Amino acid sequence: MVVSEVIIIGNVKTKEKVIIREIPFHVGDTIYSELLDQTIQKTKDNLFNTSLFNFIHINTTNDFQKYIKVYIVVEERWYLWPYVIFEQADRNLSSFLNNKDWSRINYGILLVKNNFRGRRETLKLKVRLGYKEQLQLFYQNPLFMGPSNHGITTEINWFRLKEVQYNTISDKPVLYKDYSRYGQSFQNARFTYSYRRSMYLKHHFNIGYTYVAVSDTILHLNPNFLGTSGNYGQQLNFNYTLEIDKRNYKYYPLSGYNLEVTLSQSGFGILKNEMAGVADIEASAYKYIEFEDRWFAGFGGTFKLSTPFKQPYFTERALGYEYTLRADEYYLIDGQHFETARAFLKYAIIPFNVRNIESWGWEKFNKIHYSLFVNAFVEQGYVYDVNPNATNRLPNSQLYSFGVGVDLVAYYDLILRFEYSMNQLKQHGFFLNVGKAF
């Protein structure tokens, strides 16, 4: 069948070209009838992954025997969010619930304008006080200078902390707090140019600058905090990322796959008092399958290799930061290299379901969708540290965890995970997390 017309309805704020950019066909294209349902579903997936719409409906009508019209009806989200910040400052929610340290609270305000000018631009202004002070300015434009395959992101951050994590001992962070002064301050700025080579293939080129300063006490407690640069250090950073993403829903994928490879270089030896340079390669790949009605499986992993072996404590990161094995949420595992492997099996107790709550009145929020899944998972990891602290027993050892859980998936990309898991130390318990596991 030949597509004779694409009609878009419901985009009050969103420019039509933003939607057309996500449609894998154009007027005049031929679609085989046996692939029509698959093509329509892929169009829905692409539009959901923009985070611009709560609901998407696509219908087709026969124009003549071999021609079809495609109707795309979207229901837009609310785009202006003034957040009152009241949050815990631990690495994850489970760590906070375990520590119950209410002095580690941040407060402030975050203003987010999504879909600015209807062009899928994002503006952010954050003023955060309390445990970790921050001022952030952020701007992202995936449709920079007209062509739909060029985008830019700019970001500037200022941070100050009176309590500083200066070391890892017994596989847990060690903190020092001075109420009279700031123990650490740092600033960073970055600029990213993105090139969308095709619908699912992107290249990202990022250049950034980082400046860090610490008090004499922090340097005394850990002379390697900034390497050999003393009380302050600075770096230029560059990285390149190749991204292939064909997941049905990137915030909670159930089908498709994604691959991401990043090459990074921090420090080029051209700045005064520059921190030691670090080069690394990081890659991740995951596959998601729906193998029976309501039954899903997923598997994949991540690895990172870095050089040199001797790195400043401030820059050396492995597991417990961005990447964490379940049931190891309380631990930091430092090292130069790491790898993880993960797998899950899920069943949808409640598939995608829609409910209207007329009493709420506001159409951007009174029509909600939600799903509920039970799942079983297993994870494995390994961190290599050439010279670990004698008290840290998790680097250079096999790590694993397994468990079961319940996941609630709701509109506005809300994911809540309630899990019971056990790790390699035979430690087990219930954990509450926000966002997808992988």
Q: Measure the CA–CA gap between 139 and 124, rounded to whole angstroms.
A: 7
Which pLDDT band, with edges at 50, 70 and 90, does 145 fall under?
confident
| CATH code of the domain containing 385 | 2.40.160.50
Neighbours of 363 (CB within 10 A): 12
Mean pLDDT computed over every residue of the chain: 92
Same domain, 65 and 115: no
Provide the pLDDT confidence category of residue 93 given band limits of 50, 70 and 90.
low
Q: Indicate if 60 and 84 belong to the same structural domain.
A: no
Res 98: pLDDT: 62
Instruction: Examine the domain organization and report whether 69 and 103 are in the same domain.
Output: no
One domain for residues 353 and 387: yes
The structure tokens 């379940």 sit at: 326
Q: How far apart are CA 175 and CA 225, in angstroms?
A: 13
Model confidence pLDDT, tens digit, residues 332-387: 999 999 999 999 999 999 999 888 887 776 777 888 889 999 999 999 999 999 98
Indicate whether 256 and 133 sit together in one domain: yes
Same-domain check for residues 227 and 215: yes
pLDDT band at 152 (very low <50, low <70, confident <90, very high): very high
- Quick one: 99 and 210 in the same domain? yes
Q: Region of 321 please: left (phi>0), alpha (psi -120 to 50) or beta.
A: alpha
Nearest to 335 by CA among 301, 363, 309, 302: 309
Asked if residue 85 and residue 16 are part of one domain, the reply reads no
Specify whether 13 is located in the same domain as 100. Answer: no
- Residue 46, classed as helix, strand or coil, is helix
Same structural domain, 20 and 133: no
The continuous run of DSSP H or E covering 94 comes out as helix 93-99
Same domain? 68 vs 184: no
What is the domain range of residue 273?
80-434
Q: What is the CATH number of the domain that holds 12?
A: 3.10.20.310
Looking at the 3D structure of the chain, how many domains does it have?
2
Task: Quote the Cα angle for 46-51-52, to 5°.
Answer: 95
Examine the fold and report which residue of 76, 104, 137 is the final residue of a domain before the chain moves on.
Answer: 76
Q: Are residues 280 and 402 in the same domain?
A: yes
